[in-house]
Amino acid sequence: MKKLAFVIPWFSANISGGAEIALRDLTAHLHAAGVPLEILTTCVQSFGGDWGYNYFCPGTEEIGGITVRRFWADARAAAAFDDTNRKLMAGKPLTPEEETIYLNEMVNSDELYEYIRRHRQEYGLFVFIPYMFGTTYFGSAAAGDKAVLIPCFHDEPYAHIGLLAGRFAAVRGMAFLSAPEGAFAHAAYNLANTQTRVLGLGVDEIAGDAARFRKKFGITAPFVLYAGRKEAGKKVDLLLAHFAAYKAAHKSPTKLVMIGGGRIAVPAEIAADVLDLGFVAKQDKYDAYAAAAVLCQPSWFESFSLVIMESWLAGRPVLVSGQCAVTKHFAVESGGGLYFTNEAEFVLALDKLLQSPTLADTLGKNGQQYVRQHFNWDTVTQNYRDFFASLESHENNAGK
């Protein structure tokens, strides 16, 4: 297999974010398995940084033994981008001209695209992640028939940009993290000439200590755990409203414990029952999973969900949104959790899990077995190797 190039808008040793962590972990396991690869990225720091500011210096460095090549990010008209982005987030369609502004004024690097064009023959494939950034749109065009996507699709306004549909119809392959993500992609785009496969992600085994978590943070009551960014886009506001409804309906000592970045307003009536621990160490997160009565993942837009997999590895059940096809699929297929589509269903499901520890433990054990069967890294890594090899072989045969 020739050297692979993985292309992402930003990357660093301490990167955060679902797609970024997926890339970090996948490339680390492929590298350990002997697959030659590099990471191509811009000098932008992170999703939360200034997309027009070159935080890192251009050039190469090694992270975890993998060569990372950084390229100068282009200057951008941030205000013009913000106008189109607000329109998208409000669910309004963009005109073709506005779509062009959206793609031209986000994260881009002409130096990166020129590198891809000039060095195209040195790499077997160029793998782009995630789908909605300029580095994927323009980078995949530069890579031509060597372009592969790990898109991390959600059924959200960004996924319905017309220019993206045309570009994605031309890529060689797509790897999906879940069956519902793949089903959405095939319904939304013309992928007749694209090889696709559902490959998922690997999940590392974890070891959590419930007693240690309770002692360290002084939590004795049963609690629901939320792990992730605290923002409305992740439907954390909905979780807070539903939890308030649960507390109003039941005289229960149950708390809501939140870990992760961001801040969100907590309703006054439940302020004493919501404990925001902010960022915690990785082991504290694992201990929190083990100590929780249930992990709640309220997001509507997920293409995988590492936190529900980790909760299952800790033996704890999950409560997910029925509005998210992906997390609902995982909960139902695994028998590892319940789902809700409205406030009343949330209150009922949470009460059921809290009142029946035997049920909660059974669901948690089901989920644990599911993750170990489907998402162990040895199997997932080999599946990606096979997929990439098949795409390379197809290109080589087509060129003869």
Q: Same domain for 197 and 280?
A: no
Q: Same domain for 162 and 253?
A: no
Alpha helices in the chain (DSSP H): 18-32, 78-89, 96-104, 110-118, 134-143, 162-168, 179-188, 210-217, 236-249, 282-291, 306-313, 325-334, 343-355, 357-374, 377-398
Residue 203 has pLDDT above 50, yes or no: yes
Q: What are phi and psi of 155, to 5 degrees?
A: -80, 85
Q: Same domain for 111 and 222?
A: no
Q: Same domain for 216 and 298?
A: yes
Q: Same domain for 331 and 244?
A: yes
Q: How is the beta sheet containing 4-7 ordered, strand by strand? A: 59-63, 66-71, 37-42, 4-7, 125-128, 147-149, 173-176, 195-198
Q: Same domain for 55 and 171?
A: yes
Residue 399 has pLDDT above 50, yes or no: no
> What is the tally of structural domains in the chain?
2
- Confidence band, pLDDT 50/70/90 cuts, at residue 322: very high
Residue 395 has pLDDT above 70, yes or no: no
288: domain CATH number? Answer: 3.40.50.2000
* pLDDT value for 154: 87
Give the separation between CA 180 and CA 331, rounded to whole angstroms.
13
Among the residue ranges 29-33, 154-158, 212-216, the one predicted with the least confidence is 154-158
Q: Same domain for 334 and 386?
A: no
* pLDDT value for 394: 65
Q: Same domain for 360 and 230?
A: yes
- Confidence band, pLDDT 50/70/90 cuts, at residue 400: very low
Q: Same domain for 219 and 152?
A: no
Residue-range definition of the domain harbouring residue 93: 4-202+376-398
Q: What are phi and psi of 323, to 5 degrees?
A: -80, -15
pLDDT in tens, 353-366: 999 999 999 999 99
Q: For residue 224, what is the enclosing H or E element?
A: strand 223-227
Token readout for 49 is 């940084």
Q: What is the CA radius of gyration of the chain?
A: 22
Write the DSSP symbol of residue 228. S
* pLDDT value for 226: 98
Q: Same domain for 45 and 63?
A: yes
Q: Residue 67's beta-bridge partner residues?
A: 38, 62
What dihedral do alpha carbons 148, 150, 152, 156 form, nearest 10°?
0
Residue 389: alpha-carbon gap to chain centroid: 25
Residue 351 has pLDDT above 90, yes or no: yes
Among the residue ranges 12-26, 29-43, 215-229, the one predicted with the least confidence is 12-26
Q: Same domain for 162 and 243?
A: no
Q: Same domain for 256 and 275?
A: yes
Alpha helices in 302-342 (DSSP H): 306-313, 325-334
pLDDT in tens, 79-138: 999 999 999 988 899 999 999 999 999 999 999 999 999 999 999 999 999 999 999 999
Average pLDDT over residues 6-25: 91
Give the separation between CA 117 and CA 367, rounded to whole angstroms.
44
What size, in residues, is the chain? Answer: 400
Q: What percent of the chain has pLDDT over 90?
A: 90
